[in-house]
A and B are shown apart, each in its own frame.
Chain A
Amino acid sequence: MLETAVASLRFGLSMVFGTPFHRRSLDQILVAMRATYQELGPIGGDGEDLLGGPRLDDDTRRIVQGRRFRSQAMRAARETLYYADVFGGAGIDAKRLHYDDIASVPITTKEALRDDPEGFVRSGAVPHHRSTTTGTTGWPTTVWFSDDEYHLIGALSAIAFLGREIITPDDFVQIAISTRARLGVHGVAFSAAAIGAALHAAGLVGPEHTLALLTERHRLPRWKPRVSVMSTYPSYLGELVETGRRRGLRVGDFGLERVLLGGEILTAGLRRRVQEFFGPIELIQNYGMTELLPFGASVCNEEHLHFEPAVGIAEMLTLNGSGAPARPGEPAVIVATPLPPFRETTILLRYNTEDVVRTFDRPLTCDMRRIPASSNLLGKLKLAVEHDSGWVFVRDVLEALESVDAVILPTRYGFWAVPGGVAVEVVARRQDTATREAIGTALQERGVPLRQLHVVGDRSELTRPLPLRCDLKEGSTAKLHDKPAPPTPAMLSTANRRH
């Protein structure tokens, strides 16, 4: 306990002064969290809050964030090629920046980072890990991290997962995301090891293969007999539901309790259909992107995105590219700055995520209302469609389509602007009038100004399909018919005795 107190103090000092985190202190906090969980049970929010720092009022938060932004800007101007040019060209003195001056720093575009990732690396940093985005909307973007940053990202993930009981020591965790998503895999794998859970980094293989792994029974004495936690993408989860139904699998065939979802939008329709197939499992969303990690957002009980102010600054700007803050209730693009000491190698100031959310025009009532927030993700700006009376975002279309059971999962669809509204195309089980009416009604109920609807029976018939992460699959030579027989009751009872 004394060592933990010292480690927590060192962590707190890094937070206050912006100095790099002490690696052994992070490890000590993790060890203490695990010991606390095993001895006393669930840690609850207090443990996580300890690391998030105290909740600040708006004025204090601005002062603290302004100071952190200034220190990051000074390092960027002094130690990175990209920002040396930006600050020099714009005639901005980073040393004089305050919170209200943040808007004077030019926005960093995705293209700038994608085209010259090394231009953002600090000269004094020790870049070890090259992480790339999956590139679903273009050429993958590279972000360099030091080994300490990788360790920090893993440790913070583990603290969040154990604090919220998303991964516990008796869980069996399966990672079903692309193994190229290095940071996503690392966060879950590091956490499972730190927490003491069993781990299988299975990757994004064919749905039949994953279903075979999920239904497998294990006889390891300390862990749950079947996969209890899975990390994956919403579209892949939809693919599992569809394939599983086709193969006649049912709720009792699985031991799944929680699914960690990221990278795509989770709709109410998909949630319902997943829970009908897998049972009342918990679907846990988060918002994070390789470029910004460990800065990201947690999703509250009312499905808002909450951005931890100690880790970074999230600005909500209008969609017209003017750089003005969005008004309350308006859609907005997230422009984010990861702050020190959470980001030490690749410095990004005011990075345009191109992710669209909506700002709030009324006070929040959710369980995280004291943390700055926006609505849940509406989609990528480049995939949104502007029409005569407003915008249609990916979420608007996807929520409507996935609410209709006739739409095959994963939802393969496209939409684009046509005079007076939008055209939508989607793959469905049937192409009859009833199906078309159901889809059309659902879209209109979501406020989509539907002008054309193309319901097709096969994905090859789509003309402008949106990219899905479930298509990042890796090859597999596994012969599923050679899967070993499940253990007999006698074998299972032996395992129980060992337990």
Chain B
Amino acid sequence: MPHSYYVVMAFVAATALLSWGFYRRAAADRPPIGVVTLRDVAILLIVLVLLPYLYLNLPVAAVTTVLALGVLTAMYVTLEPALRRAWLAWTTGVGLVAADITLGVSQGVTGAPFLVINNIIMVITIVGATNLWAQSGMRARDVTVLAAGLTVYDVIATQWLSVMTDVMQRLSTAPLVPIVAWGLADERTALRIGLGDLLLLTVFPLVMRKAFGRTAGVVALAIGLATPAVILGVLAATGATVPVPAMAFLGPSMVAQYLWWRRTRTRERTTREYLLAEPAPQRLWQRA
């Protein structure tokens, strides 16, 4: 097994576990009014479908700017409660993004220094984004609908259209590439997983824990980590270089889990009920 497999899986595991820990121990800086609803999920799906076409038609500088803004916002959600000072959180985020762009432009986006920074940025971004969704009351049902929608889209876009391959090729020439990857210098050992797949496999355990309890969350976490481990393992072992729509495996497992727990537990818990049943460590939950 190439060492890129272990590196990528280490980042994937770090993302899911850090997000899991963050959900219990820190409060994301969410808007005081409003919860994530099914309508938000529908809007998100539409945006995700249209976004690749925007990426393909916008100049690289514009794409990088859009990505930088999104990444900075999501990173702030993670860094602000962790570092306890807003200015330090912004400085750290801007520093990481600046390093990513500098390395990407000067040394290319396949070198190890760039990939270390880029992977760290992706981890922090995903922890922030998933916690913002989960702590804003996103329901397990809504994540399941999102997963089902993305599964259909991912399969179509990867298998029948060339759009995802085109987007990946275009983004792999620019900084802030939305993947966790390693070993890109050699296509035989290169392994990568997309930001969208990671977002879904990270947020699903959070909302399942909130909705149905710790066991549901742990099961979702285990299945979520096992799925890319198997897919990447097969790709690494066989040396295959074909793009695999990871959502084709993640999505059905999420739908199945949701239906199982929904049948067993009758209804989802609200965040309020979840925190009453499983009080969060209070001192750490409060933001500075």
Question: Measuring CB to CB, which residues of chain A are less than 8 angstroms from any residue of chain B?
Answer: 1-5, 8, 29, 32-33, 35-36, 38-41, 43-44, 46-47, 49-50
Given A1-B40, A2-B40, decide whether A36 and B35 contact each other with a Cβ distance below 8 A: yes
Write out, one digit per residue, whether chain B residues 8-38 have a CB within 8 A of any chain A CB (1) or not (0). 0000000000000000000000011111110
In this assembly, does B265 line the interface, its C-beta being within 8 Å of a C-beta of chain A? no
In this assembly, does B283 line the interface, its C-beta being within 8 Å of a C-beta of chain A? no
Cβ–Cβ < 8 Å partners of A50 in chain B: 32-33
Complex CA distance for A8 and B275, rounded to whole angstroms: 28
Docked-complex contact A32 and B35, CB < 8 angstroms: yes
Docked-complex contact A1 and B272, CB < 8 angstroms: no
Cβ–Cβ < 8 Å partners of B137 in chain A: 35-36, 39-40
Cβ–Cβ < 8 Å partners of A5 in chain B: 31, 34
Most buried by A among B33, B36, B271, B275: B33
A21 CB, min distance to chain B CBs, angstroms: 16
Cβ–Cβ < 8 Å partners of A49 in chain B: 32
Complex CA distance for A83 and B36, rounded to whole angstroms: 48
Q: State which of A8, A35, A44 has its C-beta within 8 Å of the C-beta of B35.
A: A35
Assign chain B's interface to a size class.
Answer: 10 to 19
Between A and B, 12 residue pairs with Cβ closer than 8 Å are: A1-B31, A4-B31, A8-B33, A38-B270, A38-B272, A39-B137, A39-B270, A39-B272, A40-B137, A40-B272, A43-B32, A44-B32
Docked-complex contact B43 and A47, CB < 8 angstroms: no
A6 CB, min distance to chain B CBs, angstroms: 10
Q: State which of B33, B36, B40 has its C-beta within 8 Å of the C-beta of A47.
A: B33
Complex CA distance for A47 and B33, rounded to whole angstroms: 6
Complex CA distance for A239 and B37, rounded to whole angstroms: 48
Complex CA distance for A2 and B47, rounded to whole angstroms: 13
Docked-complex contact A33 and B33, CB < 8 angstroms: yes
Cβ–Cβ < 8 Å partners of B31 in chain A: 1, 4-5, 8
Closest chain B residue, CB of each to CB of A49: B32
A342 CB, min distance to chain B CBs, angstroms: 20
Q: State which of A35, A41, A44 has its C-beta within 8 Å of the C-beta of B34.
A: A35
Docked-complex contact B34 and A36, CB < 8 angstroms: yes
Docked-complex contact A43 and B272, CB < 8 angstroms: no
Docked-complex contact B271 and A39, CB < 8 angstroms: yes
Q: State which of B32, B37, B39, B271 has its C-beta within 8 Å of the C-beta of A41.
A: B271
Chain A: interface secondary structure? Answer: helix
Complex CA distance for A96 and B196, rounded to whole angstroms: 57
In this assembly, does B136 line the interface, its C-beta being within 8 Å of a C-beta of chain A? yes
B133 CB, min distance to chain A CBs, angstroms: 9
Docked-complex contact B39 and A32, CB < 8 angstroms: no
Chain B: interface secondary structure? Answer: loop
Question: Measuring CB to CB, which residues of chain B are less than 8 angstroms from any residue of chain A?
Answer: 31-37, 39-40, 43, 136-137, 270-272, 275
Given A43-B32, A44-B32, A46-B32, decide whether A1 and B37 contact each other with a Cβ distance below 8 A: yes
Docked-complex contact B39 and A36, CB < 8 angstroms: no
Docked-complex contact B35 and A39, CB < 8 angstroms: yes
Complex CA distance for A44 and B37, rounded to whole angstroms: 21
A50 CB, min distance to chain B CBs, angstroms: 6
Complex CA distance for A255 and B34, rounded to whole angstroms: 31
Complex CA distance for A4 and B43, rounded to whole angstroms: 13
Cβ–Cβ < 8 Å partners of A40 in chain B: 35, 136-137, 270-272
Complex CA distance for A333 and B32, rounded to whole angstroms: 37
Cβ–Cβ < 8 Å partners of A47 in chain B: 32-33
Cβ–Cβ < 8 Å partners of A44 in chain B: 32
Cβ–Cβ < 8 Å partners of A33 in chain B: 33
Docked-complex contact A29 and B270, CB < 8 angstroms: no
Given A1-B40, A40-B137, decide whether A32 and B272 contact each other with a Cβ distance below 8 A: no
Complex CA distance for A1 and B34, rounded to whole angstroms: 5
Cβ–Cβ < 8 Å partners of B271 in chain A: 39-41
With A40-B136, A40-B271 known, 4 other A-B pairs at CB within 8 A are A1-B35, A3-B39, A43-B32, A47-B33
Complex CA distance for A82 and B43, rounded to whole angstroms: 51
Docked-complex contact B33 and A2, CB < 8 angstroms: no
Given A1-B40, A2-B40, A3-B39, decide whether A36 and B270 contact each other with a Cβ distance below 8 A: no
Complex CA distance for A32 and B32, rounded to whole angstroms: 10
Closest chain B residue, CB of each to CB of A40: B271
Complex CA distance for A3 and B41, rounded to whole angstroms: 12
Most buried by A among B32, B36, B271, B272: B32
Q: State which of B33, B40, B43 has its C-beta within 8 Å of the C-beta of A36.
A: B33
Q: State which of B33, B270, B272, B275 has its C-beta within 8 Å of the C-beta of A4.
A: B33
Complex CA distance for A4 and B39, rounded to whole angstroms: 11
Cβ–Cβ < 8 Å partners of A43 in chain B: 32-33
Complex CA distance for A148 and B37, rounded to whole angstroms: 28
The 4 A-B pairs at the shortest CB distance, nearest first, are namely A4-B34, A46-B32, A39-B137, A41-B272
Complex CA distance for A8 and B32, rounded to whole angstroms: 11
Closest chain B residue, CB of each to CB of A28: B34
Complex CA distance for A202 and B270, rounded to whole angstroms: 34
B119 CB, min distance to chain A CBs, angstroms: 29
Docked-complex contact A29 and B33, CB < 8 angstroms: yes
Q: State which of A29, A35, A38 has its C-beta within 8 Å of the C-beta of B37.
A: A35
Most buried by B among A4, A36, A41, A44: A36
Closest chain A residue, CB of each to CB of B36: A1
Complex CA distance for A35 and B136, rounded to whole angstroms: 11
A136 CB, min distance to chain B CBs, angstroms: 38
Complex CA distance for A50 and B136, rounded to whole angstroms: 17
Complex CA distance for A2 and B136, rounded to whole angstroms: 12
Cβ–Cβ < 8 Å partners of B33 in chain A: 4, 8, 29, 32-33, 36, 43, 47, 50
